[in-house]
A = this chain, B = another copy of it.
Amino acid sequence: VRTSAQRTKELTTTEAALLGLLLDCPSSGYDLSKRVRASVGYLWGPAKSHVYSMLRRLEGAGLASSRAVVQADRPDKQVFSVTPDGAKAFTAWLEAPGFELEPGRSTVLLKLFFGRRASPETTVALLEDYLEVVEATLADYREVERRIAGRDEDLYGYMTLKLGLAHAEASARWARDTLDEFRGRSA
């Protein structure tokens, strides 16, 4: 039989992310969705409808509170803030050791793995497409990098971005190498 002490259900990653953003600045679901895209978006991007339901859930759990804000020039909105309990839950999540490191999970990899069942052209096309996408995101990341490099308040975001950059660079290099090797074989 559980007592009331059991109420510390761990946070979803999305819940944690939203609390983290809300700590910076109380927002409506609509605003939050946009803030997600503008910040953690490239590494965590829930659907808009999901954001709304997570907010309601946080509120229900007493981790966030909302107040109606009447606006004259545009539709009214519900602005959510983090409650003391919510802040506690967030730091607990943040400070808790351990993390999930879900593996590759990319269909490119899986398709390549089964490449011997496809024509060489298919594999080459796959790799070329992949390279293209990777180079595009690489360009994005580099732009963000230029924007936030050196800015002290973005230090942690910068460190995070760095890993994304490193991965993208490694991916691009790999794709080029693999393409070369692959073409070498077919030639």
Contacts and interface: CB of A to CB of B under 8 A. Distances in A.
Interface of A: 13, 16-17, 20, 23, 39-40, 42-45, 90-91, 94-95, 97-119, 122, 125-126, 129-130, 133, 155-157, 159-160, 162-164, 166-167, 169-171, 173-174, 177-178, 181-182
Q: How many identical subunits does the complex contain?
A: 2
A156 B115 contact: yes
B125 A111 contact: no
A95 B118 contact: yes
Give the dominant DSSP class at A's interface.
Answer: helix
A169 B171 CA distance: 11
B163 A40 contact: no
A99 B107 contact: yes
Contacts of A23: 117
Contact of A125 (B97, B119, B163, B167): B97
